[in-house]
Amino acid sequence: MRTKRKSGVASFLSALSEPVVAPLRPPNEDLLKDSTSDPDLGSALRKREPLDTSIDRDQGGERASKRRKVSGLLGPGYEEFDASHLVPFVSKASELPKRLSKYFFQRERYFSLYSEGCLLDEEGWYSVTPERIADHIAERCRCDTVLDAFCGVGGNAIAFAKTCERVIALDISPMRLALARHNATIYGVQDRIDFILCDYLDFARAYAKLPPARRNIEVVFLSPPWGGPQYLLSSSTNDKPTSTSVEKEFSESSTSSYSLTSILPIPGDELFQVTKNIAGNIAYYLPRNMDLNEVSTLGSEGEKIEVEEEWMGDKLKAVTCYFGGLAAGQEDWF
């Protein structure tokens, strides 16, 4: 019998080095009880009886995602994962605020299964990684254990669950974690993801104190907040956009150079250094107008940094910067 219950992060870290075998274990129930004070959100995040999550692989070695056909949103048997009490399912652009309505037309680029009940909060509509890009990054980051440091509504975490044995997904928002779990359930990968309610910086500092034998995160994916849709106005001098500029529409030609100093919750170079204490294999997802001269200062001496442009059709959406063994030519660093 347990006589002393650890805090959420401590409880998770104490079990982090446990081997993961199929069926993969669901998130720690005590962790979720500790981390979530809202009873509604706690219900949405608590574990259920595990599904059959055995892993199939096709002839090419790809993990076959066991996608579940759902009725309504999550359907019978999945009620406790249904997050539709937090945000409504949006079926037409007019149901969104005017400033967000343009994103509705990209919904199936964000989630190919959007019509089966995927949910996004306001931040999710403008920050989620398009699914094809997320899938590509996940293939580049294929490993046993990957950390999604800012998981949001789950776009990247879902993709990582298709290529990695274990996904650790962090966020400071209990609502976004509930939405991410909801969306992962639609894709049938929720049991491959540990959803952890905590601040990434706290997690990173606690993880760095673990003995080497218990530190098994191989890849960290960083997609921190860029500062909202107005990130296109960010400049290398760290000028803050005015309230009127936040509401304007942005064209491709209106962009200025984006600085790491605009990254939240701490400047991007500091965030990167904190992350290196977890793993050297880092995928850093950054704005398309990123000042790459700043990125070039992040690597260690003699390290190659691979910068990959992420396009959707004829539009450049972002850049992903790969460090350590993720960069081409440095696979032996992995």
Residue 58 has pLDDT above 80, yes or no: no
| Entry pTM | 0.78
Residue 253 has pLDDT above 70, yes or no: no
Instruction: Give DSSP secondary structure letters for 101-155.
Output: HHHHTTHHHH-TTGGGT----HHHHHHSPPHHHHHHHHHHT-SSEEEETT-TTSH
pLDDT in tens, 83-104: 999 999 999 999 999 999 999 9
Longest CA span, the chain: 63
- Give the residue, 251 or 51, on which the prediction is more confident: 251
Strand-pair partners of 141: none
Residue 243 has pLDDT above 60, yes or no: no
Q: Which option is the CATH number for 129-231+256-333: 3.40.50.150, 3.40.50.261, 3.40.50.1220, 3.40.50.720?
A: 3.40.50.150
Residue 175 has pLDDT above 50, yes or no: yes
Residue pair 168/148 in contact by the 8 Å Cβ criterion: yes
Residue pair 171/180 in contact by the 8 Å Cβ criterion: yes
pLDDT in tens, 256-315: 799 999 999 999 999 999 999 999 999 999 999 999 999 999 999 999 999 999 999 999
- pLDDT > 70: what percent of the chain? 71
- Listed ranges 218-232, 243-257, 310-324; the one with the highest mean pLDDT: 310-324
Q: Which residue has the tokens 């106005």?
A: 233
Alpha carbons 83 and 89: distance in angstroms, whole number: 10
Its sign, for the CA torsion 136, 137, 138, 143, is: positive
Alpha carbons 160 and 56: distance in angstroms, whole number: 16
Residue 135 has pLDDT above 90, yes or no: yes
- Give the residue, 160 or 78, on which the prediction is more confident: 160
Average pLDDT, the chain: 80
